[in-house]
Amino acid sequence: MRYALAVTRTGHFGQAADECAVSQPALSQQILALETLCGSTIFDRLKSGVRLTPFGRDFIELARPAVAASEALDNFAMRNVGKPNRPIRFGLIPTVAPYLLPEIFPALTRELPALKFTISESRTEAMLESLGDGSLDIALIASEPPAGGPRLVVSPLFEDPFVLATPSDELTAEPVSLAALEPERILLLDEGHCFRDQTISACRLEGERSTRTFAATSLSTIVEFVASGQGVTLLPQISLRKEASDPRIAVHQLDDPRAGRHLALVWREATPLGRTFEDIAAVIRGTRPGD
């Protein structure tokens, strides 16, 4: 049922498998076994992904509280023993995971050796849903959780300022004023990434100007376009070790008021593992890239 909820959230078997930290064949096999048990298909398999069947919509509505009840029993057991009895399910957004994981995972293993983790990468909205239904324990995000969602504890980690990346052969006076940038030259991530929204806000790209810009699926793709002279982009400071190593890229500091984001670790308020999650947050604060 947890796998079915993940497929419902993502609309894709592969993305759901990544979120659940299992292989796609294993997840697909379990979904097929669930459908066989139910005697009806839960998902229509499409070329572009999957969608719920009429039976599937009713099934998922009943599965959500069932999974939540299972999580409540799990939490009760963990509260009794005072420690996790399974790996901690840890989610990170795509504009953080490739830059922080090489730093924080060894540190977590060294500082908290009794803990085990399963790691997944997903967008903020999907991770907040996963926290709400109990399929995720903690998430590292870069935006304030919206009101009306699950009751969460937000543990601030550190600020992650933005810089401007341009082609290295382009003359750029520093510090750079975001107001002076040409909107049509700014390259963005595609919709659904909080970093896209933060860039649009920082550069004041409103209305049609925010939709006319190029949209990519990853920062690495955008950086390659910048290196090829196709435009400029904002990059988070934590990404520079990986994304700014190309000599075709130049990095520039921004003029005041400087743009940036605040990274935080979040978890459900009702969890019995709050102290453990605070320990995890403390380790992450001490392993910021570049420190």
Q: What is the pLDDT of residues 162-221, one digit of tens each?
A: 999 999 998 888 898 888 888 888 888 887 678 888 888 888 776 555 455 567 888 999
Q: What is the mean pLDDT of residues 56-60?
A: 94
What does the DSSP assignment read for the chain?
A: -HHHHHHHHHS-HHHHHHHHTS-HHHHHHHHHHHHHHHTS-SEEEETTEEEE-HHHHHHHHHHHHHHHHHHHHHHHHHHHHTS-SS-EEEEE-TTTHHHHHHHHHHHHHHH-TT--EEEEE--HHHHHHHHHHTS-SEEEESSPPPTTS--EEEEEEEEEEEEEEEETTS---SSBPGGGS-GGGB-EEPTT-HHHHHHHHHHT--THHHHSS-EESSHHHHHHHHHTTS-BEEEEGGGHHHHS-STTEEEEPBPSSPPEEEEEEEEETT-TTHHHHHHHHHHHHTT-TT-
- Please state, for a pLDDT cut of 70, what percent of the chain lies above it: 91
Is residue 76 pLDDT above 80, yes or no?
A: no
* pLDDT of residue 154 exceeding 60: yes
**Which residue type, as a one-letter code, is found at position 238?**
I
Q: Measured between alpha carbons, how far is 131 from 127 in angstroms, rounded to an integer?
A: 6
Domains of the chain: 1-81 (1.10.10.10), 161-260 (3.40.190.10)
How far is CA 55 from its chain centroid?
A: 30
Contact yes or no for 233/223 (Cβ under 8 A): yes
